[in-house]
Amino acid sequence: MKATKPKNKRPAGQKTRTKNERADHFASNAERSPKPAGFKKPRPQFAKTAEKSADRSGEAPENTRAKERTQDRHDQPARILSPRTGKKPDERSAVILETLPSDDYALLDSGNGLKLEQYGSYRIIRPEGQAIWLPAWDKAEWDKADAIFTGNTDEEGMGRWAFPKKPLGETWPMKHDGIEFHGRFTSFRHVGVFPEQAAHWSYMAELIRRETSKGRTVRVLNLFGYTGVASLIAAQAGAEVTHVDASKKAINWAKENQEMAGLQDKPIRWICDDAMKFVAREERRGSHYDIILLDPPAYGRGPNGEVWQLFDHLPAMVDLCRSITTKDALAVILTAYSIRASFFAIHALMCDRFTGLGGVVESGELILRERSANRALSTSLFSRWVQQ
């Protein structure tokens, strides 16, 4: 990838869309059905509550952790945000970071509420609500797809995918800039990597290499880290990485990716925990980081049932992240998916919370550049504070 960077009940009797039935996907708007069978958009589905056990190697001694877990079991008062004093960061808004097609990943074509992508050796069709235009490629190209997400809620896992050519395994090898990892057909449409993040990954890796070449130790915190691709990139670039996710399944997947990438010797702590509680503990401990990646869901749950609501909890989370940055911190990078807001909302929040630290706040959108017609598909909002 080259950077320049859910459940509904199916109506009774509904069947998985066949190859012939997909033909109307390429018809004009007047001719086609507004909701082609088999491609209805699923409601967001979130990770199930993870098991309480976690790999916490490298954390504080057990007696300290026991005390902190006792504190965590009680409801904590909401964090009171106080005005930050000093000079506000410089601002750059309406910044577009794009990921171009590459051998690792490519957005091949899109339209009629779908997108055709190349993930390694596989062509995949998934829903895409923003693709309200017509496909640029003809039906013959789309019929080359190896996997199609159907959203069949009567099934679990791979059962929600159709494989027109031949049955495929649950995982397959993927790569980003030489780092290998597992792609996986999941029941919630994703495949284990968000390629639009490549713009942030390349920027982060450049910062790490620049500073480590001077003899500096760079510490990276990856919150809501999912399957760990960003953590592997940071570690390969030379950073000491702490990876936090509330899903033990995601943590195990990330560890598999580390082994597949041959980076077992790199310093990565894999921690299954509620992100908000973890950061609050790091603040109490006096731990600090040079780069923080923050990729929260709109809604989620921690391993012990903790509830995350982005609009309710993001201000406190950003404030906590600011409090655990080093004195000469490099960057705090926030990405937001599937929220009813513009990037100006998170831009204003980042400017507010990083007042007094100098630097600049850059905000805008992450997009994928399409191979077929060079259209831009917006995937998420971002705002990042960087030290100039």
Verify that 87 and 138 share a domain, yes or no: no
Please state, in angstroms and rounded to a whole number, the distance separating the CA atoms of residues 137 and 8.
30
pLDDT over 50 at 359, yes or no: yes
- Same domain? 115 vs 85: no
Measured CA to CA, the distance from residue 332 to residue 292 in angstroms comes to: 5
Report the pLDDT value the prediction gives residue 4, as an integer from 0 to 100: 53
CB atoms < 10 A from the CB of 271, how many? 22
pLDDT band at 105 (very low <50, low <70, confident <90, very high): very high
Residue 219 pairs in a beta bridge with 240
Residues 332 and 268 in one domain: yes
Q: What is the pLDDT of residues 306-325, one digit of tens each?
A: 898 999 999 999 999 999 99
CB 320 within 8 Å of CB 291? no
Nearest to 152 by CA among 325, 10, 248, 277: 10
Q: 291 and 382 in one domain? A: yes
Least confident of 93-102, 104-113, 127-136, 332-341: 332-341
Mind listing the pLDDT tens digit for each residue in 47-62? Answer: 333 333 333 333 444 4
Bridge-based pairing state of the strands 2-3 and 90-100: antiparallel
CATH number reported for the structural domain that contains residue 136 in this entry: 2.60.40.1180
Is the model's pLDDT at 83 over the cut of 60? Answer: yes
Q: Give the pLDDT confidence score for residue 28 in this predicted structure.
A: 40
Return d(Cα 214, Cα 199) in angstroms, integer: 24
Structural domain boundaries, residue 211? 62-98+190-386
**Residue 125 DSSP symbol:** E
Q: What is the mean pLDDT of the chain?
A: 85
124 HSE (CA, 13 A, CB side): 24
What is the domain count for the chain? 2
Question: For residue 98, is pLDDT > 60?
Answer: yes
List, as one string, the DSSP characters of 332-386. Answer: EEEEE-S-SS-HHHHHHHHHHHTTTS-SEEEEEEEEEEBTTT--EEEEEEEEEEE
Do 231 and 241 meet the contact criterion of CB atoms below 8 Å apart? yes
Percentage of residues in the chain having pLDDT higher than 90: 72
Per residue in 142-180, pLDDT (tens digit) is 999 999 999 877 777 677 999 999 999 999 999 999 999
